[in-house]
Structure 1
Amino acid sequence: MADYHLEASWSPVEAGPGRLTLTLFNLSSEPLSGFSLTYRSPTRIADTHVCDGASLTRQVADFHEFLPPEGLSIPPGGRWRFTVEGLADEPKHRTDGIKSACLTLGDGRRVAVGFGDLLLEGGDGGVTPPLLPPGRVEEPFALLPWPLSVGLRAGDLPSVLYPAERTRPEAIKALSLLLALYQRLYSAEAAPFSLAAVKGGRAIRFVTESSIAAFAYELRFSAREIVLSSADAAGRHYGLISLAQLLHGARTDRDAFKFPNFGTIADQPRHGWRGCHLDVAGQFYPVADVMRLIDILAWNKFNIFHWHLTDDEAWRLEIKAYPELTEISAGGGTDERPMSDFNDGAQARISHYRQEDVRRIVAHAASLHVEVVPEIDIPGHSTAALSALADLVDRQEPADSYRSPQGYANNALNPAVEFTYEFLGKVFDEVVALFPGEYVHVGGDEVAEEAWLSSPLCRTLMKRERLAGTAELQSYFLRRIKAMLSERGKKLAGWNEAAHGGGVDRDGTLLMAWEKPETGPELAEDGYDVVMTPGKAYYLDMAQAEAWAEPGASWAGFTPPERTYAYEAELPEALREKMRGVQACIWSGNIASRAHFNRLVFPRLPAIAEAAWTPLTRKDWDRFAAIVRMWPVL
């Protein structure tokens, strides 16, 4: 148990976004004096504020540092209470409070501080609603996402499934990979597959059928055997997942679900890009957690893992040319990250992925037909890189000439600093060696409107290149970045703001539409290939109900699972060829624990999997609700 504990509560006031009350409890056996308190919270203090009982000495985005009144000493069992009026935003949920906290003592030691949820003064916080109805199934087969065509009759439950005689080695290897996947996801359950024939089991006969579409499969069931037909390894992989799901459901809930002994499944994905994004900058996830998430993606037939490796908070990828990036900025700077992320060890300060870790993760994903798309978020969201490498900064630019939406000052790589391109060239050299996929995602989002306009170097660049404003400066920057990626055999992916100011060459560029529903059609009309990832439906850090007691963020409203499931991220018929697919996004800055992660991400992640795979006319919310409760979580 921590020797110190911080409680935070919020109360509304007539004018403004309310009052924050913070109380530090000294649970140790010694008096506490000569200290400072630091914490991270999405409820930021505004520039203009009134603080009673303390003084705010430093703030960088969600990082806050307070000093007590001079001479204050908190006795054992005592407390220090202070209030703040003047908040940047009004909190909406209990998770809008403290994310991490610590004390810096007079001798320089940093000591962990315990904390709880943000309390709502004068209210009970409401009730967190159930996320799913009981559900019901008309066809008693556990398949998720639901296939394109199903015509099955239930029969006896086989003890296990095994390869038929004379099965080729590559099919047996594929079966063994799915067996290992299932055992990782359901370690306490009986295996669905055996590599050897078993009495009471049923044989799988593998057929290569060139007339079947890429990534598609067919399953034909009889009491004697199952025939799995596909044209490629991916289709075979998806067919084996369906078999594992069928057997898992029939074993787990024998009253509701059965295994077929007659009939067919004909199946193929609705979209080519079925993605899930994970932000590891706002929250570090150990390698084992990343690999388990990829396992879950494979089980739900996702094929893209978008790995958001850098942001203002941290740079998580080892770059051998610039070890400073992870020596300094993997922890968000030397003093601006009060305590470790929830999955780190108790004293961890720097958390990042070594290149050997990345190779393991990429290979693991590839074995499950999941492509890893790395994101190096530039030019904005670059506080971590700028804090590590001073040569990236135009030293003549005023120190606080613009701020990002998250409150970071001067957080964008400067397009007029030539070292920016030397730096990124070396970063990309190492990135492309680690990630064999088609795309490198380069962000391009949320650059502050006034960014770079006070930079003398940028003013010179604007005059020389006839550029007007921040958006055209970003377009100049991203065009150079696209050329650098093309030289390295990669295509550019980015968020929808990468189209601002003229954007980049549309050929080979993929943009993700997140801001509002009309963004996707606008990008497609402008010639871009598009992945739909709407914040209002597919951002899984958003709360799932309006109640204060529900965890999550609130800037895009609240999104219950049924709304996520029902959402149709489509383009008009004339533009449909520009739509590559859909993607879930897991932003981690507002996720304080594994329990919160699982509450927020599931069952909405499998709901998006069904939107990515299953035609609209085949979707069924009640069937989904009945099946998804058996599906794995982190």
Structure 2
Amino acid sequence: MTDRYATVPEATRFHLDCRWQPADADPAGRLLFELWNLGATPVESFRLAFTTLRFAGHDPAADNARLLDRRGYFHEVAPPDGLRLAPGDVWRFSLGDIAGAPQHRGEGIVSAYMTLADGARWPVTVGDLRHEASGQGAAAGPAVYALTPWPAEAELTPSDRLPGYLVPADGATADELSAVSTMTALFRRLFPLEPVPFSLMALPGDRLLRFASDAALGREAYRLDFRDDDVLLTAAGPAGRQYGLTALGQLSRGARAGCRFPAHGHIADAARFAWRGCHLDTARRFFSVADVARFLDILAYLRLNIFHWHLSDDEAWRLEIRGYPELTSIGSQRGPEAALPPQLGDGHHSSGGFYSHADVRALVAQAARLNIGIVPEIDIPGHGTAALAALPALADPDEPAGAYASVQGFANNALNPAVGLTWTVLGAVFDDLAELFPSPYLHVGGDEVAEGAWLFSPLARRLMADLGVDGAEALQSHFMRKVQAMLGQRGRKLAGWNEVGNGDGVETEGTLLTVWQKAAIGAGLARRGYDIVMAPAEAYYLDMARSSDWDEAGMSWAGATSLEAAYAYEVGDDIPADLLPKLKGIQACIWTELIASRAHFNHLVFPRLAAVAEAGWTPTARKDWSRFQGLVRFCPTL
């Protein structure tokens, strides 16, 4: 996997739009700029640096600005003395004597940053290069609207014109302008060759965007009213506003590619489920921070709101833990000479990688800006080979080698609850998880503990005797109840795979179980009082092959899942009506044993992820396979 971003996208604080204006006296014309302060505090005595192919001369007849420096494509300008930008204010200026008239949208501002009075530098979100002809032209094609997932209610009349850019009307707050800038940056990252749907600079042919607030709407709900001269977006808060802007961006993007934009009508929309998740296994395969950041962008575009981040497994431990650097210095490395041998796809080359605390904080911040919660998973007590390789003292020294093996063939791979160090290490792990991730849930795995785990450990046998229990299932229940108490001490709730409920399970209050096995297991857990998220392997495991053809890539143990099958699966059919309040949502899962390239990832995950997203958002009665088939071409890929 190769990086798509130099860094994780940062918060929107400043936004720069640019327009080219022809001039009779100079065929090259001028560049007109608008710099918006979208932060919470005023700024003054600042400098703006930007790069553009159409560089200005050293005497550019600057209007309302001073050109401080110009070297090649680099420019640095400053406002007139005394200019102060309050939150929501705009500084307008222009430069002439530019190096030729731009011929394409991409010849505008490529990148920009601000230097504040204290020397701090801030990135600046950059819009498209605008010109007077923007937004003109006739729309073509049937009345198809590019919306994925499809909204709960849509009554729309198509326009016969392209919408131009969507521009906030005068009076928009700094928060509203910032939301538009954030969506501008999102669309630019996902579709770098396409026009962005939004601008803060209004030109003829644009569609004005107005905002309203309605506390009666749900947190994620929004309403769009398409009127003669503008579009009104109503929401209760940031999440609904983001989803409304995302829908508008999708409509605008689709209209440029043969679909239509509404002239009149409305969309009234809200999510079907509160939990609309996607899991990603970064233990078997390491994904760069940049790839995880792009994946978060894709989840936001599809209105998925939970990222279940699988950070440890037999094959690797991927999260930095203070006090136990061996977990990553040893546990994240595989190779012929390493403590962990090569696994699928490694060959004779070493492989490795882990996420530092700084990496995690940056990704958690990005997710929060996109109204996505990150739920981290450290898989215990099974799937622990990497942790045991990094910290051999976690094992009972008297347990025979090869006493038992997991379904994947890893011997003696369960953390031992009778070893004192187990709880010391887990305490440190939970401390770091609680500090790094604001999620109310911490996922602790609990799946696929081997049937014979601990039975040949003298320490574990003595513990079972002391507890009056027998067998791996009973000891796992004891283990998980102790884990649940430790999480509670840190203000967090336990999430786990459905096996956490095996035997006596854990306390049901506040526990969330991800059901990947048979649907009947989910119904049984709900009947016992557990909240559940359905992630059925036969429909929502996106590492499964898309067909049973011999030449098709992917896993096979849960069967093959076509796009149509993933779209048609209905989780509500598997849960009795009286238990539906315990069904909190659905989740796709992406395991990565066989995913060795970006091409393979995209082949398996897309567009099936969009099918799961629509199942999580759209009411069953509003789903339409034929419509969905025609719209999946608009979905982004990694």
Do the two structures share a fold, i.e. TM-score over 0.5?
Answer: yes
Mapping of residues 447-466 of structure 1, within 5 Å = 447-466=449-468
Which of 305, 308, 312 pairs up with 1:306?
308
Which of 437, 442, 450 pairs up with 1:435?
437
Residue identity opposite 1:331 in structure 2: Q
Q: How far apart are the structure 2 equivalents of 1:512 and 1:138?
A: 41
1:572 equivalent to 2:579? Answer no
Q: Are the aligned partners of 2:315 and 2:343 in contact in 1 as well (CA < 8 Å)? A: no
Residue identity opposite 1:322 in structure 2: Y
Q: Are the aligned partners of 2:184 and 2:198 in contact in 1 as well (CA < 8 Å)? A: yes
Residue identity opposite 1:597 in structure 2: F
Q: Are the aligned partners of 1:321 and 1:427 in contact in 2 as well (CA < 8 Å)? A: no
**Cα deviation, residue 138, structure 1:** 7.9
Which of 495, 498, 502 pairs up with 1:496?
498
Residue identity opposite 2:232 in structure 1: V
1:160 equivalent to 2:160? Answer no
Q: Are the aligned partners of 1:303 and 1:370 in contact in 2 as well (CA < 8 Å)? A: yes
The 3-state SS of whatever aligns with 1:227 is strand
The 3-state SS of whatever aligns with 2:502 is helix
Residues 181/348 of structure 1: CA separation in 2 closer, same or farther (3 Å cut) = farther
The 3-state SS of whatever aligns with 1:590 is coil
Q: Could you say which residue in structure 2 is the equivalent of 1:213?
A: 218
Which of 200, 207, 210 pairs up with 2:205?
200
1:617 equivalent to 2:624? Answer no
Q: How far apart are the structure 1 equivalents of 2:178 and 2:352?
A: 38
**Cα deviation, residue 337, structure 1:** 3.6
Q: Could you say which residue in structure 2 is the equivalent of 1:600?
A: 604
Q: How far apart are the structure 1 equivalents of 2:445 and 2:508?
A: 16
Residues 348/160 of structure 1: CA separation in 2 closer, same or farther (3 Å cut) = farther
**Cα deviation, residue 631, structure 1:** 1.1
Q: Deviations over 1:104-125 (max 9, x none)?
A: xxxxxxxxxxxxxxxxxxxxxx
Q: Could you say which residue in structure 2 is the equivalent of 1:352?
A: 354
Q: How far apart are the structure 2 equivalents of 1:451 and 1:273?
A: 33
Q: Are the aligned partners of 1:162 and 1:195 in contact in 2 as well (CA < 8 Å)? A: yes
Which of 544, 552, 555 pairs up with 1:553?
555
| TM-score of the two chains, using structure 2 as the length reference | 0.76
**Cα deviation, residue 332, structure 1:** 4.0
Q: Could you say which residue in structure 2 is the equivalent of 1:190?
A: 195
Residue identity opposite 2:431 in structure 1: D
Residue identity opposite 1:327 in structure 2: S
Q: Deviations over 1:586-608 (max 9, x none)?
A: 00011121111111001100000
**Cα deviation, residue 197, structure 1:** 1.8
Of stretches 390-399 and 604-613 in structure 1, the one that deviates more from structure 2 is 390-399
Q: Deviations over 1:12-40 (max 9, x none)?
A: xxxxxxxxxxxxxxxxxxxxxxxxxxxxx
Residue identity opposite 1:240 in structure 2: L
Of stretches 449-458 and 296-305 in structure 1, the one that deviates more from structure 2 is 449-458
The 3-state SS of whatever aligns with 1:237 is helix
Q: How far apart are the structure 2 equivalents of 1:504 and 1:544?
A: 36
Q: Could you say which residue in structure 2 is the equivalent of 1:384?
A: 386
Higher relative contact order (CA 8 A, sep 6+): 1
Q: Deviations over 1:458-491 (max 9, x none)?
A: 1111111111211110000000000000000111
What do you get for the CA RMSD once the two structures are aligned?
1.5
Residues 475/340 of structure 1: CA separation in 2 closer, same or farther (3 Å cut) = closer
Residue identity opposite 1:330 in structure 2: S
Q: Are the aligned partners of 2:286 and 2:352 in contact in 1 as well (CA < 8 Å)? A: no
Q: Could you say which residue in structure 2 is the equivalent of 1:629?
A: 633
**Cα deviation, residue 367, structure 1:** 0.5
Of stretches 351-360 and 549-558 in structure 1, the one that deviates more from structure 2 is 351-360
Mapping of residues 503-542 of structure 1, within 5 Å = 503-542=505-544
Q: Could you say which residue in structure 2 is the equivalent of 1:129?
A: none
Q: How far apart are the structure 1 equivalents of 2:164 and 2:272?
A: 32
Q: Deviations over 1:373-396 (max 9, x none)?
A: 000000000000000101110111
Which of 583, 589, 595 pairs up with 2:587?
583
Q: Are the aligned partners of 1:161 and 1:203 in contact in 2 as well (CA < 8 Å)? A: yes
Q: Deviations over 1:65-89 (max 9, x none)?
A: xxxxxxxxxxxxxxxxxxxxxxxxx
Q: Deviations over 1:42-86 (max 9, x none)?
A: xxxxxxxxxxxxxxxxxxxxxxxxxxxxxxxxxxxxxxxxxxxxx
Q: Could you say which residue in structure 1 is the equivalent of 2:396?
A: 394
Q: Deviations over 1:537-589 (max 9, x none)?
A: 00000001111100000000100010000001122110000000000000001
Q: How far apart are the structure 2 equivalents of 1:196 and 1:142?
A: 25
User: How many residue pairs align between the two structures?
Assistant: 493
Residue identity opposite 1:534 in structure 2: P
Task: Give the unaligned 5+ runs of structure 1.
Answer: 1-136
Mapping of residues 125-274 of structure 1, within 5 Å = 139-155=143-159, 156-252=161-257, 254=258, 257-274=259-276
The 3-state SS of whatever aligns with 1:144 is coil
Q: How far apart are the structure 2 equivalents of 1:337 and 1:171?
A: 51
Q: Could you say which residue in structure 2 is the equivalent of 1:446?
A: 448
The 3-state SS of whatever aligns with 1:454 is coil
**Cα deviation, residue 335, structure 1:** 5.2
**Cα deviation, residue 213, structure 1:** 2.0
Q: How far apart are the structure 2 equivalents of 1:465 and 1:138?
A: 69
Q: Could you say which residue in structure 2 is the equivalent of 1:65?
A: none
Q: Could you say which residue in structure 2 is the equivalent of 1:417?
A: 419
Residues 408/237 of structure 1: CA separation in 2 closer, same or farther (3 Å cut) = same
Q: How far apart are the structure 1 equivalents of 2:350 and 2:172?
A: 49
Q: Are the aligned partners of 1:375 and 1:441 in contact in 2 as well (CA < 8 Å)? A: yes
Q: Could you say which residue in structure 1 is the equivalent of 2:486?
A: 484
| TM-score of the two chains, using structure 1 as the length reference | 0.76
Q: How far apart are the structure 2 equivalents of 1:567 and 1:361?
A: 31
**Cα deviation, residue 158, structure 1:** 1.6
Q: Could you say which residue in structure 2 is the equivalent of 1:292?
A: 294
Of stretches 324-333 and 161-170 in structure 1, the one that deviates more from structure 2 is 324-333
Residues 174/615 of structure 1: CA separation in 2 closer, same or farther (3 Å cut) = same
Residues 463/139 of structure 1: CA separation in 2 closer, same or farther (3 Å cut) = farther
Residues 477/206 of structure 1: CA separation in 2 closer, same or farther (3 Å cut) = same
Q: Are the aligned partners of 1:339 and 1:349 in contact in 2 as well (CA < 8 Å)? A: no
Q: How far apart are the structure 1 equivalents of 2:143 and 2:620?
A: 17
The 3-state SS of whatever aligns with 1:448 is coil
Q: How far apart are the structure 2 equivalents of 1:340 and 1:556?
A: 19
Q: Are the aligned partners of 2:334 and 2:343 in contact in 1 as well (CA < 8 Å)? A: no
Q: Are the aligned partners of 1:485 and 1:491 in contact in 2 as well (CA < 8 Å)? A: yes
**Cα deviation, residue 341, structure 1:** 6.5
**Cα deviation, residue 499, structure 1:** 0.5
Q: Are the aligned partners of 1:473 and 1:501 in contact in 2 as well (CA < 8 Å)? A: no
Deviant stretches of 4+, over 6 Å: 339-342
The 3-state SS of whatever aligns with 1:331 is coil
Q: How far apart are the structure 2 equivalents of 1:330 and 1:576?
A: 40
Q: How far apart are the structure 2 equivalents of 1:541 and 1:391?
A: 35
